[in-house]
Structure 1
Amino acid sequence: MSSKPRISPRISIVGYGRVGLPLAKALKEKGYDVTGTVTGSDKREKLVAEGLDTHILSFDPQPQGDLAAAMEADVLVVTVPPSMRAPHEFPAVMENLANAAAGSGVKKVLLIATTSVYHQTGDVVREEDATPDASPFLGISWLPVEQLFSERDEFETTVVRFSGLMGGGINPGMYFAGRELKGANDPVNMIHIDDCVGVMAAIIEQDIWGEAFNASADEHPSKRDFYTKACESAGLSAPVFSDEPSPYRIVNCDKLKQRLGYVFKHPDPLAGLDS
């Protein structure tokens, strides 16, 4: 007796940005039914012309635009970053998104989060070490944001906590070029955009929900080595390094690799700068 073919889920990506857009293109190439959102009409027109189903949606923190279209999916991927203009509104934005998903037909949520849920004590951190009082990013405590989704009964959520992004047009050296950078010998935690996409696609394809995963490259070069090469590759002035101690953490990804069987495409951030 043959089994019925598995039906691919409809996927909606809230935030066609640095991570969401390459994910959409990768999933579309795999044959998934993908839709997504942008905040402006010009970008929407460009992406529609490229063959991507795209809607306009923004938050102030109430949703403005086609929220209903964004919720017409089985799997909702949330890749919304805090606004630099009004970061204090971010928890309300995410709560509005979680409420909208709960009131729709969304069955699964893939939430992109950050490793700022961990204290910077110089130790190796794993998923169970997350705490609401860890160092905030833009003044935001991220664990309560995760819980807005993970504690809902209406859908299942998997959270992916990304380290610093690189690749895909993102050069981390631009943030530190010519500036003083403490902790020159401290390790860095980075992840290439190619691996961001690979990890998210693997979660969707393997149908793995109700989990939290760290996502960071296997190797952790020193700040001195990484940011010197990053700046050189972009033709920028290298940072002025200081050996004065600086808080750091080392992000462990064993759970991700074991649970998903994932092999990083760019395990060494230094080599990843060449791609």
Structure 2
Amino acid sequence: MKQISILGCGWLGFPLAKKLIERGNSINGSTTSENKLPILEEAEINPFLVTLESEGVSESIKEFLAESEILIIDIPPKLRGKNADDANSTQKIFVEKIENLIPFIEKSNIQKLLFVSSTSVYGDENGIITEETIPNPETESGKQLLLAEALLQKNQNFETTILRFGGLIGEDRHPVKFLAGKENLENPDAPVNLIHQNDCIEIIEAIIHQSKWNEFFNAVAPFHPSRQEYYTQKAKEHNLILPKFSAEKSNIKKIISSEKIENILNYKFKMENY
């Protein structure tokens, strides 16, 4: 049995915690909402109210990390800082949160760390994207994540694996719901790069079980129809208004490769066509 702390028991972290408990692990789980504490406790997750701010970290972080050997960080960068008009400010605030967290990790028993990141760190590159591709983020969240990755990876007090997920999808979360009925959508011929929540959980568990640390992994299902083909079909399946794409809009043909995960972890994606 392993003692694991999951910082961020949200859409992915909560079901991940439950799955890891099923596999015999003890889980400390954090939330920023007091209302969620009893929900975590009911799921047999040791609940902690933990907040990360640019000014500091809540005192509960010490107990949250205590006795755990593995830390999973699954918190998205917030795109609004104190000065919403200052892009550098929003970026700095997220990085400062990670900087404030690191000393507590160093003083704890954490030996291994898994940081949930995103393939947005690669930007809109054309062609096949592997872990050897040099990141070139264009979005603010991508820039924040890349800086956070670097902070954690270079720290010699613990071993860090970076896991870059593609577009997240699940039974209660599908991007077609946001695209339905919209017009003049860009990149009709661009391949989709998605991953199901179930695969996210299984991959994280495989990394922990196989002790694959000090690694970078891209995680996207090997299923890449065009945006127009895929979202048109999904809109029909969900009885939604069909999205309309513009052939005149830019066409980025980026395919995220997950061959490393398939080879190193011997992982076969469970949810390929969804």
- AA aligned opposite 1:115: T
Look up the match of 2:213: 209
Aligned partners of 2:43 and 2:212: how far apart in 1? 30
| Structure 1 position 169, deviation (Å) | 1.3
| Structure 1 position 100, deviation (Å) | 2.0
Q: Mean alpha-carbon deviation: is it higher for 12-21 or for 87-96?
A: 87-96
Instruction: Tell me if 1:192 matches 2:196.
Output: yes
8 A contact 1:171–1:234 mirrored in 2: no
CA deviation profile, 1:44-82 (whole Å, cap 9, x unmatched):
112212322111112222223511122121000000111
8 A contact 2:18–2:43 mirrored in 1: no
Instruction: Tell me if 1:68 matches 2:101.
Output: no
- AA aligned opposite 1:203: I
8 A contact 1:56–1:65 mirrored in 2: no
Q: Work out which of the residue numbers 139, 152, 163 in structure 2 matches 1:149.
A: 152
Q: Work out which of the residue numbers 131, 134, 137 in structure 2 matches 1:130.
A: 134
Look up the match of 2:74: 79
Look up the match of 2:85: none
Q: Mean alpha-carbon deviation: is it higher for 237-246 or for 137-146?
A: 137-146
TM (norm. structure 2) is: 0.89
Indicate the SS of the match to 2:195. Answer: strand
Indicate the SS of the match to 1:58. Answer: coil
Percent identity between the aligned chains?
32
Which consecutive unaligned segments of at least 5 residues does structure 1 have? 1-7
Indicate the SS of the match to 2:218. Answer: strand
Instruction: Tell me if 1:173 matches 2:176.
Output: yes
TM (norm. structure 1) is: 0.89
| Structure 1 position 84, deviation (Å) | 4.0
8 A contact 1:184–1:222 mirrored in 2: yes
CA deviation profile, 1:95-135 (whole Å, cap 9, x unmatched):
2223321221100001100112214232101101132x432
Aligned partners of 2:187 and 2:4: how far apart in 1? 41
Instruction: Tell me if 1:27 matches 2:20.
Output: yes
Over aligned residue pairs, what C-alpha RMSD do you find?
1.7
- Sort the Cα spacing of 1:96 and 1:238 in 2 relative to 1 into closer, same or farther, 3 A: farther
- Sort the Cα spacing of 1:184 and 1:22 in 2 relative to 1 into closer, same or farther, 3 A: same
Look up the match of 2:117: 113
- AA aligned opposite 2:75: V
Look up the match of 2:8: 15
- AA aligned opposite 1:213: F
8 A contact 1:119–1:249 mirrored in 2: no
8 A contact 1:14–1:80 mirrored in 2: yes
Indicate the SS of the match to 1:210. Answer: coil
- Sort the Cα spacing of 1:50 and 1:218 in 2 relative to 1 into closer, same or farther, 3 A: same
| Structure 1 position 177, deviation (Å) | 2.2
Instruction: Tell me if 1:264 matches 2:269.
Output: yes
Q: Mean alpha-carbon deviation: is it higher for 54-63 or for 196-205?
A: 54-63
| Structure 1 position 137, deviation (Å) | 4.1
| Paired residue total | 261
Instruction: Tell me if 1:162 matches 2:165.
Output: yes
8 A contact 1:10–1:75 mirrored in 2: yes
| Structure 1 position 223, deviation (Å) | 0.5
8 A contact 2:70–2:111 mirrored in 1: yes
Aligned partners of 1:127 and 1:140: how far apart in 2? 17
